[in-house]
Amino acid sequence: MLNLSLVTVVIIAANVIASFKGFEDRLFFERYKFNVGSIKRNEHIRMFSSGFLHADTTHLLFNMLTLYFFANAVIVPLGNFNFIMIYVASLLFGNLLSLYLHKDEYWYSAIGASGAVTGILYSAILLQPNMSLYMFFIPIPIPGYVFGIGYLLYSIYGMKNRIGNIGHDAHFGGAIGGYVITLLLKPSLFETDLFHVGLLAIPIIILFVMYKMGKLS
């Protein structure tokens, strides 16, 4: 069992409390979820508050378990304050990308900590690219950087094809946040592990090129 830091416990508790409040109080849920039309009416708190609401207990559990497993991989090398910075920045990056890509869809709504959690996951992979990850359907360990690249390529596919009721753009934006802030906090990675820094940038470059070519719509 991982020895969680206090900051991780507080973030998980905040997600649980806000999410269960949202389950029981529909007005609370509607008031604080991500919604393009409401944000354009200057309800900017939704850019942050939506990251603590979830659709159901399964959604909440999946995000919090992911955070549980990867939090220490970021906290140990970078510290609690920087961990919080990456978490919040990834949450906001995810919602900013969603807002930008759906700016004309005033009805578009989203909730969940996925952007923030994906940012922590991508930060952990950047810091430990050869960490072993296990997937339910693959019997062998996968290097972290392979998983990270594959996950973001799938996110691009999901964004382009609107697959499922999933905020693929928030996941991708969160990963960009985790990637950028981690490199700003630890620029020595450019010297010690430029190869993996470059590899993990590939999906971000692909998304940028696809957007410029108009292939995301």
Which of 71-80, 155-164, 206-215 is predicted least confidently?
155-164
pLDDT digits (tens, 9 = 90+) for 56-88: 998 899 889 889 989 999 999 999 999 999 999
What pLDDT was estimated at residue 50?
94
Judge whether residue 1 has pLDDT over 70: no
Domains of the chain: 6-212 (1.20.1540.10)
Mean pLDDT of the chain: 88
Please classify residue 74 by burial: count the beta carbons closer than 10 Å to its beta carbon, then call 0-12 exposed, 13-18 middle and 19+ buried.
buried
Contact 51, 91 (CB under 8 A): yes
In Å, how far are 19, 27, 130, 168 from 122, measured between CA atoms?
A: 24, 34, 12, 15
Please classify residue 23 by burial: count the beta carbons closer than 10 Å to its beta carbon, then call 0-12 exposed, 13-18 middle and 19+ buried.
middle
Contact 115, 94 (CB under 8 A): yes
For residue 133, what pLDDT band results from cuts at 50, 70 and 90?
Answer: confident
Contact 127, 74 (CB under 8 A): yes
Which of 19-28, 166-175, 187-196 is predicted least confidently?
166-175
Judge whether residue 203 has pLDDT over 60: yes
Judge whether residue 136 has pLDDT over 60: no
Residue type, 157: Y
Tell me phi and psi for residue 35, to 5 degrees.
-145, 125
For residue 152, what pLDDT band results from cuts at 50, 70 and 90?
Answer: confident
Which of 6-20, 68-82, 128-142 is predicted least confidently?
128-142
What pLDDT was estimated at residue 124?
93
Q: What percent of the chain has pLDDT over 90?
A: 58
Contact 170, 114 (CB under 8 A): yes
What pLDDT was estimated at residue 165?
56
In the block, tokens 């029981």 appear at: 24
What pLDDT was estimated at residue 30?
96
What pLDDT was estimated at residue 217?
57
E strands within the chain? 34-35, 109-110, 132-135, 138-143
